[in-house]
Amino acid sequence: MTPIIRIPLFFVLAMLAHWWWTTHFTFSGIAPQLLLVLTLAIAARYGPIRAMCMGFGWGLFLDTMSAHLFGANALALTLAGYSTGSIRRWVDVAGLPSQCLLVFAMTWIYFLFLGVLGALFMKQFLWVGWLPFLADPLYNCLAAAAVSVSWMDYK
């Protein structure tokens, strides 16, 4: 399949998978941030430019799903793609252990960044809650492991 078809198809399928997973398999507000995990995986594999573009589009999708602060997810995922793609020159972020560690840390940074943006623009810190804040990084690491294993043989 050509990249002209494969990349937009992957983009849309990822949004559908995220929507389906968060709609049907959320337990006490805990759901993986699948689009964050995919943005980081793309940045680790292909670099910051593709990750920033995909992250921005996925962030706009997440912003339309929530009624809080439009553009916050787009900015957060764009910055996550840029930072991960930039550090891949110095750190091997494509390996499974380092990618899980990166996803774990970036999940907390993502939540705190969204909270700070809420404090700046909405005059209230957008807090996800303690249970998602503590459990989602682990859930995202499982999703990162699944993504990493599924992309091992993909060329």
Helices H / strands E in the chain, number of each: 6, 0
- Mean pLDDT lowest among 1-5, 34-38, 99-103, 136-140: 1-5
Fold (CATH) for 3-21+28-151: Arp2/3 complex 21 kDa subunit ARPC3 (1.10.1760)
- Structure tokens belonging to residue 62: 């997440």
Coil vs helix vs strand at 30: strand
pLDDT tens digits for 21-52? 988 888 887 888 999 999 999 999 899 999 99
- Residue among 26, 30, 58, 31 at smallest CA distance from 42: 58
pLDDT attached to residue 11: 94
- Distance (Å, whole) CA 92 – CA 107: 19
What DSSP letter does each residue of 58-78 carry, written as one string?
A: HHHHHHHH-SS-TTHHHHHHH
Average pLDDT, integer, range 99-127: 94
What's the whole-model pTM score? 0.92
Domain boundaries, the chain: 3-21+28-151
Structure tokens at 101: 């560690």
Digit-coded pLDDT (tens) for 57-83: 999 999 998 878 899 999 999 999 999
155 band by pLDDT with thresholds 50, 70 and 90 = very low
Tokens of 12: 């849309």
End-to-end CA distance of the chain: 12
pLDDT tens column, 83-94: 999 998 888 887
CB 116 within 8 A of CB 124: no
Work out the mean pLDDT of the chain and round it to a whole number. Answer: 90
In degrees and rounded to multiples of 5, residue 27 shows phi and psi of: -115, 115
